[in-house]
Structure 1
Amino acid sequence: MNKSLKNLWGRFLFRDKGILPTSRLVLLLSILSMTFILLSLFVNVSWPIIFLLNVFFILFSLVDLVFIPNKKALSMTRIIPIEMERGISYHVNIVVENPTEYDMRVEIKDGIPQSFSRPFPITGMVEKNTKKQFTYHTTAPVRGEYLVSHLYLRYQSRIGLWQKQMNFAKKDTIKVIPDMTETKQYLENAQKFLIHEGVTIRKQKSGVGEFSKIRSYGVGDDPRKINWRQTAKLQEVMTNEYEPEHGKYITILIDCGRMMGAELKKGNRLERSLEAAMTVAAAALQKGDYVAVLAFSKKVKAYIPPAKGLPHLQTILKTIYNIQVDAAESNYAEVFQYLQLVQKKRSLILLFSDVKTFLHEESALIYLKRVRQRHLFFMIGVEDEILKKRAGAPVTSLEETMIKGVAQQQLLTKKREKAKWEKQGLLMMEAREERLATTAVSHYIDTMNRGLL
């Protein structure tokens, strides 16, 4: 009995196959019943007769089912991207083929995951002997690999009294990867991407290293490096760009511990760190440097050995796109020990983590001192905007004063701890979540320009 009820409930939830009455049939049956009930007030009509008349009407409506197409006569296909970036809207096409001699009104649902945006049902008319394409837009907010296995269809009979419901097995695997918008912006126009708050530009210093290319002049460029010949030819101010020596090693560490699950305006700390890490990797690979990536929490979750060239960016993406936040605390000591084993050449170590948590890891300082002897170290995290806002907020009550005092105390403690670590040559920085990628790339470029590696 429970199984039967479950199957029946599944049909009404658009998850199973079956035949259902339409709103038109229910309306006509209601009007017929009300007419007979009102008529019984003036004419002597017994209830059994009213019941039989309703039964005859329902049986007569079943004739409409004769003209409804069966599943073998119909076909559905789905056209969906195999890769989707987190938080970006994509369009999905569903094609319904109607080879019958009757027009068909349909309702469609796709079996995409519940976490995706689901603008269903999609309704429309498919004319006889034609194919029709239906389009909807969906957004995936959570990274990972998803299997979409079914398409669901409801279509009405010729008169519209009944509708048939069925599902089509159409399997597609979708990979939801980090948002690559910032990475694409950098690859398209590095100079424009590195404009910091509209004023300061963190970029490659011109005149240092060997000549690379001629590009458009940007705010902050050295006027002495303007290429006047190309400027006159193109009627646009152009400047020479010089680049430092290539072939350096960049090691990106991504913390996946518990504190990286803290929610931000757009995603959480891990999501923002992944997006920033991919942008730094793209910047380094484009400049001919070697990039290695290591993701960790309590243990090492993934490691991509160093390689150069933009194709390596796809290797990194395929390896780390599905890493998630762990409930455990991060084990920095173990990851630095592992790093000493796998990274023998001098490199810039860029750690994406929670600065506040890292500052209390006294055991990590011992291993970091060893790492610092061979490598450059730089840590970057997402700024706690709520704490900063509370520390600077005006107060009007005793409770607000206490909250502000605690916030200021936490900021002062963090500042003292950072100063202690920076004395050991271990640089740390926090940035607003929307500026995390820009700040990280700026530090990488500044390090390369100064020849610190």
Structure 2
Amino acid sequence: MTKSLKNLWGRFLFRGKGILPTKRLIVLIIAVSLSLIVVTVWNKSLLFVIGVDTLVLLLSLVDLAVIPSKHAFHFNRTIPAELERGLTYSVQVKIKNLSNRPISYRFIDGLPQSFKKVNPVFGKVEKEETMVVSYQIIAPVRGKYQITNLHFRFSSMLGLWEKQFTVELEDTVKVIPDLTDTKQYLESAQRFLQYEGTIIRKRQKGVGEFAKIRNYVVGDDPRKINWRQTAKLQEVMTNEYEPEHGKYITILIDCGRMMGAELKVGNRLEKALEAVLTVAAAALKKGDYVSVLAFSKDIKMYVPPAKGMEHLQKILQAIYNLQVDANESNYAAVFQYLESVQKKRSLILLFSDVHTFLHEETTLIFLKRLRLRHLFFMIGIEDHTLLQRVKDEPRNVQIAMMKSIAQQQQQIKKREKNKWEKQGLQMIEAKEEQLAIAAVSYYIDTMNRDLL
């Protein structure tokens, strides 16, 4: 295909600039052509045929001559700087028509191909008027994107011709993990956990840091009554305690090959990142120090420990663009690195694939040494396919063989988990939609029991 043909084809695809005939003009030409064929059958003169063609041509040229210039339009795009993965957002495009003619338009915004959007966007703007057009988008893939162009096309007064051009509008958009679970926890921790059937356990009576004095309610431990304040205020008051603040939480994120396994929505890494942010928010809200380390074959990123809710934004900006690598995870290297950077006792939460981790025999040596100083807990996502195979009815030989292999794999995993847990290394698998719930529940239980 020659360069000129490529440019012409690009115009029909909303690329570049130029002038194009509309469907109305094409239909008009076809109708005139058919009419001329009929006229020639009636033996009309050639001058009549030429006259009709000339009239149609002049009409379209006049329509083209009065079409406004592209300089008569000004544009501005408003799009959120951060989009949560999978959620719907509104993008606004302001169109200012400086010409003295109303125009009908359609445009395609230069969004990444992975975005789900409605294209093209149709509308009409009156003369010397400014209007704001909104349309919805969904970003299913995390990352940082540059949006540079808006492809605009508007028609002439009679609608016989269309002029198109490209407007350069620079915007940078970050697609971050879905923070729905994190927001729900921050709004109400107890309601967030009870929704999934989990209740925050009460801590041991009178253990931990003194928090405040409040009114006594039915169910409180009478041993916690503050008799001095009770006598002073003439109503029963009780002391309230909470876990000690300032503990260290270290979150490890596996970005190896197995974390790319597809789930109902997204993959394992997507769910792990959402759970990581929820746990980090819970710990930071309690006043603990949180550090995050991502790895696969090598260390990908490390956020040093800090406290305060503003640290959550730093963690988010560090992990939002993490991607699955094609390499196997090097657990030994990450534990060696962790020993060098995390000197204080901490709760280590590892988000990884349990099945892969259990077969890393050399990792057990490093974990035994790590266990002397830190608490270790691993959490993964259940293999839905494996569990489904175990539940299948053996209707034929093929299904029976797959069921037998699935049961064997399940028994091997159970045996290996028991071996690791005897060494004090706890691990669980949760459903994909309950991963954040399970991780936060374990963190709260650990804090309430003063295990750290």
Q: Which residue is equivalent to 1:250?
A: 249
Gaps of 5+ in 2: 225-237
CA distance change for structure 1 residues 365 and 34 in 2, over 3 Å: closer, same or farther?
same
CA distance change for structure 1 residues 212 and 164 in 2, over 3 Å: closer, same or farther?
farther
Code of the residue aligned with 1:11 in structure 2: it is R
Give the 5 Å matches for 1:299-314. 299-314=298-313
Code of the residue aligned with 2:22 in structure 1: it is T
Q: Which residue is equivalent to 1:273?
A: 272
Q: Following TM superposition, by how much is the alpha carbon of 1:225 offset from its aligned partner in structure 2, in angstroms?
A: 6.4
Q: Is the 8 A contact 1:105 1:126 kept in 2?
A: yes
Q: Following TM superposition, by how much is the alpha carbon of 1:213 offset from its aligned partner in structure 2, in angstroms?
A: 6.8
Give the 5 Å matches for 1:301-450. 301-450=300-449
RMSD of aligned Cα (Å): 2.2
Q: Which residue is equivalent to 1:218?
A: none
Code of the residue aligned with 1:161 in structure 2: it is L
CA distance in 1 between counterparts of 2:331 and 2:172 reads 35
Q: Is the 8 A contact 1:248 1:347 kept in 2?
A: yes
State the identity as a percent. Answer: 59
Q: TM-score of the superposition, structure 2-length normalised?
A: 0.92
Q: Which residue is equivalent to 2:65?
A: 66
CA distance change for structure 1 residues 105 and 213 in 2, over 3 Å: closer, same or farther?
farther
CA distance in 2 between counterparts of 1:316 and 1:368 reads 25
Q: Is the 8 A contact 2:203 2:449 kept in 1?
A: no
Q: Which residue is equivalent to 2:220?
A: 224
The yes-or-no answer on 1:202 pairing with 2:218 is no
Q: Which residue is equivalent to 1:34?
A: 34
Q: Following TM superposition, by how much is the alpha carbon of 1:390 offset from its aligned partner in structure 2, in angstroms?
A: 1.2
Q: Which residue is equivalent to 1:9?
A: 9
Deviations 1:407-432, CA, capped at 9 Å, x for gaps = 11111110001001111111010000
CA distance change for structure 1 residues 419 and 288 in 2, over 3 Å: closer, same or farther?
same
Q: Following TM superposition, by how much is the alpha carbon of 1:54 offset from its aligned partner in structure 2, in angstroms?
A: 3.4
Q: Which residue is equivalent to 2:80?
A: 81
Q: Is the 8 A contact 1:204 1:445 kept in 2?
A: no
Q: Is the 8 A contact 1:333 1:363 kept in 2?
A: yes
Q: Following TM superposition, by how much is the alpha carbon of 1:242 offset from its aligned partner in structure 2, in angstroms?
A: 3.9
Q: Is the 8 A contact 2:331 2:363 kept in 1?
A: yes
CA distance in 2 between counterparts of 1:268 and 1:301 reads 19
Gaps of 5+ in 1: 216-220, 228-238
Code of the residue aligned with 2:219 in structure 1: it is P
Give the 5 Å matches for 1:281-296. 281-296=280-295
Code of the residue aligned with 2:75 in structure 1: it is M
CA distance in 2 between counterparts of 1:146 and 1:5 reads 30
Deviations 1:342-370, CA, capped at 9 Å, x for gaps = 00000000000000000011111111111
Q: Which residue is equivalent to 1:116?
A: 115
Q: Which residue is equivalent to 1:140?
A: 139
Q: Is the 8 A contact 1:292 1:304 kept in 2?
A: yes
Secondary structure in structure 2 of the residue aligned to 1:90: strand
Deviations 1:241-264, CA, capped at 9 Å, x for gaps = 642111000000000000000010
Q: Following TM superposition, by how much is the alpha carbon of 1:204 offset from its aligned partner in structure 2, in angstroms?
A: 5.2
CA distance in 1 between counterparts of 2:279 and 2:218 reads 25
Deviations 1:45-90, CA, capped at 9 Å, x for gaps = 56x9757843652343111112111111111110000100111110
CA distance in 2 between counterparts of 1:222 and 1:30 reads 87
Code of the residue aligned with 1:27 in structure 2: it is V
CA distance change for structure 1 residues 96 and 423 in 2, over 3 Å: closer, same or farther?
same
CA distance in 1 between counterparts of 2:282 and 2:203 reads 15
Q: Is the 8 A contact 2:97 2:129 kept in 1?
A: yes
Q: Following TM superposition, by how much is the alpha carbon of 1:310 offset from its aligned partner in structure 2, in angstroms?
A: 0.4
CA distance in 2 between counterparts of 1:405 and 1:364 reads 29
CA distance in 2 between counterparts of 1:411 and 1:51 reads 84
Code of the residue aligned with 1:205 in structure 2: it is R
CA distance change for structure 1 residues 12 and 419 in 2, over 3 Å: closer, same or farther?
same
CA distance in 1 between counterparts of 2:203 and 2:39 reads 93
CA distance in 2 between counterparts of 1:344 and 1:51 reads 92
CA distance in 1 between counterparts of 2:218 and 2:358 reads 39
Q: Following TM superposition, by how much is the alpha carbon of 1:436 offset from its aligned partner in structure 2, in angstroms?
A: 0.2
Code of the residue aligned with 2:314 in structure 1: it is T
Q: Following TM superposition, by how much is the alpha carbon of 1:212 offset from its aligned partner in structure 2, in angstroms?
A: 4.2
CA distance in 2 between counterparts of 1:192 and 1:451 reads 23
Q: How many residues align?
A: 436
CA distance in 1 between counterparts of 2:154 and 2:213 reads 61
CA distance in 2 between counterparts of 1:126 and 1:179 reads 36
Secondary structure in structure 1 of the residue aligned to 2:372: helix
Code of the residue aligned with 2:99 in structure 1: it is T
CA distance in 2 between counterparts of 1:203 and 1:91 reads 41
Q: Which residue is equivalent to 1:261?
A: 260
Secondary structure in structure 1 of the residue aligned to 2:220: helix
Code of the residue aligned with 1:22 in structure 2: it is T
The yes-or-no answer on 1:25 pairing with 2:25 is yes
CA distance in 1 between counterparts of 2:142 and 2:255 reads 14
Q: Following TM superposition, by how much is the alpha carbon of 1:382 offset from its aligned partner in structure 2, in angstroms?
A: 0.6
Of stretches 340-349 and 28-37 in structure 1, the one that deviates more from structure 2 is 28-37
